[in-house]
Amino acid sequence: MLHHPTLDKLQQLRLTGMSTALREQLDLPEIHTLSFEERLGLLVDRELTLREDRRLQTRLRQAKLKHSACLEDLDYTTPRGLDRGLVTQLATGQWIREGLNCLVLGPTGVGKTWLACALAQQACRQGFTTRYLRAPRLFEELRLAHADGGFPKLMRSFAKTDLLLLDDWGLMGLDAEARRDLLELLDDRHGQRATLITSQLPVEHWHDLIGDPTLADAILDRLVHNAYRITLKGESMRKRHARTLTPSVPAE
């Protein structure tokens, strides 16, 4: 059998994983102890693994997560009120399949964004499309989309994203346009897609933040009442991990 033409044909068919696996098999003398079906299975497995990895990298690139975080690295030793059972439940991704929400709350520096990015990374690994946006950036993108006529297209893209991560919610109040846009966005996603929000502001203050009582009721009804809550506490992790800076001693 001429191996090189076969490898060339696999490359032409863009079966890179199978081509790589076949090259490796040709370098293993003991590979001939396996049956044809076993060797073919190894080639197919390699191709499938390679394609799944490529799709994962694409989802992570499109997600634009702020932190390269994963749940396996989550710190449970620092006392922050983190419920391991709840995190384990969220890690299954069932809440995303059911179109539910998750709110990660707590003071600055306790790791809200890192935890949210770890949950979003887990979602990417499970095949869900994900998008990270700081809340101020979201409203800026929506405002610009109104101006250039791209608002319908942008809203469709948000509506199709399996998990939308809004970071730093509550840093500023909302004007009338932002309230309407947020309600439309959440209404498109309600019961169909999951939304993950981080905020320093306790939920009981969100109504006043939104401003208009009627729209606030509608927004919170779609956002809060079908959401898991993770409330973190404690001192800033940044302060805990900060380097101790000491003045240099002048030479005598």
Helix 176-189 with 213-223: angle, nearest 10 deg: 30
User: What is the rounded distance in angstroms from the CA atom of residue 210 to the CA atom of residue 192?
Assistant: 23
- Give the tens place of pLDDT for each residue, 90-136: 999 999 999 999 999 999 888 899 999 999 999 999 999 999 999 99
Q: Which two tokens stand for residue 188?
A: 């498109």
In a domain, 246, yes or no: no
Q: How far apart are CA 77 and CA 193, in angstroms?
A: 32
204 lies in which domain range? 64-235
**pLDDT tens-place string over residues 135-148:** 999 999 999 999 99
Q: 115 and 207: one domain?
A: yes
Q: CB neighbours (10 Å) of residue 103?
A: 21
| pLDDT tens-digit readout, 187-218 | 999 999 999 999 999 999 999 888 889 999 99
Residue 86 is assigned to a structural domain of this protein: yes
Q: Is 89 inside a domain boundary?
A: yes
The answer as to whether 141 is a domain residue is: yes
Question: ∠ CA 182-186-187 to the nearest 5 degrees?
Answer: 115
> How many independent structural domains does the chain possess?
2
pTM: 0.78
Contact 62, 120 (CB under 8 A): no
Co-location of 166 and 54 in the same domain: no
